[in-house]
A and B are shown apart, each in its own frame.
Chain A
Amino acid sequence: MSGIAYETVIGLEVHVELSTLTKVFCGCPTEFGAEENTHCCPVCTGMPGALPVINKKAVEYAVLAGLATHCEINRYSKMDRKNYFYPDLPKAYQISQYDLPLCKSGFLEIETESGETKKIRLNRIHLEEDAGKLVHAPNHSGSLLDMNRCGVPLLEIVTEPDMRSAQEARSFLESIKKIMEYIQISDCKMEEGSMRCDVNLSVRPASSDALGIRTETKNLNSFRSITRVIESETARQVQLLEQGVPVVQATLHWDEDAGETSVLRLKEEAQDYRYFPDPDLAPIHVDDAWFAHIQSFLPELPEARRKRFIEQYKLPADAAALLTSDAALADYYEAAAETSQSNLTACHWITGELLRLLKEKEVTVSDSPIGPGALGQLIQFIDRGAISGSQAKEVFDIMASTGESPESIIRSRSLVQISDSGQLEEIAARVIQNNPKSVGDYLAGKEKAIGFLVGQMMKESKGKANPKLAGEILTRLMNPS
């Protein structure tokens, strides 16, 4: 080792599958998991003479993605053919966008390891079509092609080389995923291939501003592979530079099992794809009326919502970030806070008990066994002092397993907390009489003794005494004024 410190420079190309019902240029369904070659027609299988027509919703989703990521929208855009031969592409070209992508020059903010906010610039977002799926035929008897994926609409989100670590790349992808889910244009399920990523990576001496020669590792579909690629490619390139061997610009394939990259092909130049405007597709003009219509679908985004949660509900920053990390969870919180009329208690129960329950049951918040209204009601009982904290947990668990309302649980199991002063005074008097030593300790200035006495009251009342009131009454009875 020469002792030079190196810096990794990472740019990402993220492919996100749009959740339209139909493909981008034909009416075939996009649904995942269908029988092979049953979602195909002459358009998506590239039959000569078939005419593609652009899915309006796919265009709107792309524009929405641009608006959500601070992009400039190209009001005049077009589709181009990207020509290359590979058997997963029956037309021998992919319809994509070359020089007039729908969105350009955006940015996203991520949080770095040190907790700072960092801007990741987006070069562009364009609309394109997916290719088919190739698998090995049994006994090495060839490859098998399923064309159901051909023509499924994708967004390609291209960043500038602004990331410096696997952690930053991960933050960026999580942020993209969160935004796409918020604007409801993709479910970004990596395991189903609806979010994939190419990693462009180069290394350079930490002191240098010039970019090194980069490689592009294709088609990564898990955070784990992306992290491993970044680590292994960084190490490989640093080793080459240390040996004085230049890095060769190439497209790489990642072998998850071997944990290494191999050269897929030497890098093509853009001109090798012989891009040209698709003569079968008319250009797209997003006029003011259409633009305003698309804009009206733009919901409050995660960042803005997080800030509002801190301001409006006075939540701690970390709780606000956690609650707004998922649009459905944020909706849940707002509904529960409204019913309960108690922003902080609702926050406390959702970030604690509710998330624990969801994790335990392995369900998403949308499938929560306890709805936000029911949780809100439970919180009302707690805040009114009708039930104690430990009783509330008991009620919560019963709600989770039976779906009963908190009111009926509290009634049918006579869980109501004793908040009646008359009743509590009686119990307090008994406890004072039976524990002269603790009373003496308390009167001698040992404040802690009150805790023991409250405990005794809880015991006497079988846990039903309101502990706060019990303490107050004990103090009053022992300090006759």
Chain B
Amino acid sequence: MSIQDQWLRHVADLAKLAISPEDEETLIRDMGQILEFANRLSALDIPETPVTAHGRPIQNVLREDRPTPSFSQEDILANAPDQSGGCVRIPTVI
């Protein structure tokens, strides 16, 4: 297995995606292009620019520690594909 193959599978694994062998080649090429694009940013020499953590110049958007009403159990479970005893039921994971 080539380095690119391993790398693709690792990323697919993290994203919990099953990738068919036919798609592999296209995906490796696409991802390579995406990385190349992102690397252009690293190549920029901008020592004067401070590290930015947010897209807009805002800070301290905070709320007081005061409870607000939660949703009803029924509403919370309304989107669940399956439920049981007030919980979302999912395939066995534990």
Contact = CB atoms under 8 A, between A and B. Distances in A.
B65 to A, nearest CB: 4
A53 B68 CA distance: 13
A271 to B, nearest CB: 10
A284 interface: yes
B54 A59 contact: no
A236 to B, nearest CB: 23
A55 B87 contact: no
B89 A143 contact: yes
Interface in A117-163: 134-137, 140-147
A252 B68 CA distance: 38
Given A40-B76, A277-B54, A136 B94 contact: yes
| Chain A contact residues: helix, strand, loop or mixed | loop
Interface string A18-47: 001110001111000001111111100101
Interface in B34-76: 53-55, 58-73, 76
B28 interface: no
A272 interface: yes
B63 A36 contact: no
B86 A282 contact: no
A78 B70 contact: no
B65 A85 contact: no
| Chain B contact residues: helix, strand, loop or mixed | loop
Given A45-B76, A277-B54, A283-B54, A21 B66 contact: yes
A295 B3 CA distance: 52
A54 B61 contact: yes
Contact of A54 (B54, B62, B77, B84): B62
Interface string A63-95: 000000000000000100001111100000000
B94 A143 contact: yes
B49 to A, nearest CB: 15
A91 to B, nearest CB: 14
Interface string B75-90: 0110100101111111
Contacts of A85: 14-16
Given A37-B77, A39-B70, A56 B92 contact: no
B93 interface: yes
A57 interface: yes
A370 B88 CA distance: 48
B21 interface: no
A146 B70 contact: no
B54 A279 contact: yes
Nearest to A42: B71
B71 A272 contact: no
A56 B91 contact: no
B63 A283 contact: no
B54 to A, nearest CB: 6
A27 B59 contact: no
A310 interface: no
B59 A144 contact: no
Contacts of B94: 134-136, 143
A285 interface: yes
A41 B62 CA distance: 18
A432 interface: no
Given A59-B62, A279-B54, A40 B70 contact: yes
A200 B88 CA distance: 33
A392 interface: no
A292 B77 CA distance: 44
A100 interface: yes
Contacts of A145: 87-90
A235 B86 CA distance: 43
Interface of B: 10, 14-16, 53-55, 58-73, 76-77, 79, 82, 84-94
- 10 pairs of A and B residues whose beta carbons are closest in the complex: A27-B68, A144-B87, A36-B86, A57-B65, A56-B62, A282-B61, A145-B88, A78-B53, A285-B59, A53-B63
10 contacts: A22-B68, A27-B63, A38-B76, A39-B70, A45-B76, A47-B79, A56-B64, A143-B90, A277-B54, A279-B54
Given A78-B53, A141-B89, A282-B60, 14 more contacts: A21-B66, A27-B67, A28-B67, A28-B70, A29-B67, A35-B86, A56-B63, A83-B14, A85-B15, A87-B93, A136-B92, A143-B91, A144-B85, A145-B90
